[in-house]
Structure formats: structure tokens, C-alpha cells
């Protein structure tokens, strides 16, 4: 199970580095170290604060987006665990019981996050580009 944790965090860090370079995110290596350690708990903070690219929008405010990304990543992480359990379990009864336990592990944080997110959601809309991407000069189309 610990190997799965490190594999999943390695995937998260890989995505973060790829995405952060494209978005010219400041403090990218600090985000990568934090994600390697905290995974599903810390990556949502990066996703909620990363610079937006042209045409992207972010609504609901920072807190809402942290909660939203946490629920998504928590679901992905536990779906990965469920897939491994079903594929390597000793029998269908044990696999079914394992899925029930995973459901019990998944549900309370998801419901709590949804409740917290409901109270944190604000009527805010950000439009890209933001951050370092907003500071780039637009290419000027030459007439000719």
C-alpha cells in the first residue's frame, strides 16, 4: 500500500512539474516537494492557485477550488486503490468487502469537503491569463 502511495504521488509530482513549467509557476520545486510529501492533501492548493492560461476561468474563490480539487484527487486516489484491490484480491468476497471499506473511507472526507466547500464558495470569477502568463507580451500580427 505504501508503494501505491509513492507511485501516485510520483504521478502527481510529474503532472505538477509539467503543468507548472507550461504556466511559468513561481516556486515550482517547493510545490513539487510539498506534493511529494502531502500528495492529495497539498496538490489541491497548487491547482487552486496556479496561473490561468488564456481562455481559462476559475470560479468560486480559492477555498472552494481547494475543496473541489481535493474531492477530485481523493476520488482518483481511492479509485486507484480499489482497482488494485480488485485485481489482486484473493476472492470476490474479500474484494467486495475491500470495496465497502474503501467506500467508507471515501465518503466522510468527501461529504465533509462538500459541506465546507458550500460555505467557502464565493461569487468570484477569475479569467486567464494570470500571474506570469499575464506579464507576457502578446504576439503582434503583422498586416501584409
pLDDT tens digits, 94-132 = 667 777 777 888 888 888 998 998 998 999 898 878 877
- Calpha distance 88→81 (Å, rounded): 11
Cα–chain center distance at 114: 15
Confidence of residue 81 (pLDDT cuts 50, 70, 90): confident
In a domain, 78, yes or no: yes
Task: Tell me how far apart the alpha carbons of residues 58 and 133 are, in angstroms, rounded to a whole number.
Answer: 15
Cα–Cα dist 17/15, whole Å: 6
Confirm whether 144 is domain-assigned.
no
- The reply to whether 72 falls in a domain is yes
Which pairs with CB-CB distance under 8 Å and at least 24 residues apart come from 131-140?
Answer: 131/23, 131/24, 131/25, 131/26, 131/50, 131/51, 131/52, 132/23, 132/24, 132/25, 132/26, 132/51, 133/23, 133/24, 133/51, 133/52, 133/53, 133/54, 134/51
Read off the pLDDT of residues 1-49 as tens digits, 9 standing for 90 and up.
678 788 889 999 999 999 999 999 999 999 999 999 998 999 999 999 9
How many structural domains does the chain have? 1
| Residue 10 in domain | yes
Is 108 within the bounds of a domain?
Answer: yes
| Structural domain of 36 | 2-130
pLDDT at residue number 67 = 94
Q: Does residue 138 lie within any of the structural domains?
A: no
Per the domain annotation, does 38 fall within a domain? yes
Structure confidence at residue 144 (pLDDT): 47
142 within domain boundaries: no
Amino acid at each position: 500500500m505504501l508503494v501505491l502511495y509513492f507511485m501516485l504521488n510520483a504521478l502527481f509530482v510529474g503532472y505538477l512539474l509539467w503543468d507548472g513549467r507550461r504556466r511559468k509557476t513561481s516556486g515550482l520545486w517547493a510545490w513539487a516537494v510539498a506534493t511529494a510529501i502531502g500528495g492529495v492533501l497539498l496538490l489541491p492548493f497548487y491547482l487552486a492557485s496556479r496561473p490561468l492560461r488564456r481562455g481559462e476561468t476559475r470560479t468560486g474563490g480559492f477555498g472552494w477550488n481547494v475543496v473541489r480539487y481535493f474531492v477530485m484527487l481523493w476520488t482518483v486516489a481511492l479509485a486507484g486503490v480499489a482497482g488494485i484491490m480488485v485485481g489482486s484480491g484473493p476472492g470476490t468476497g474479500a474484494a467486495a468487502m475491500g470495496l465497502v471499506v474503501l467506500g467508507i473511507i471515501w465518503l466522510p472526507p468527501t461529504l465533509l469537503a462538500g459541506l465546507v466547500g458550500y460555505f467557502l464558495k464565493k461569487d468570484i470569477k477569475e479569467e486567464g491569463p494570470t500571474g506570469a502568463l499575464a506579464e507576457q507580451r502578446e504576439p503582434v500580427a503583422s498586416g501584409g
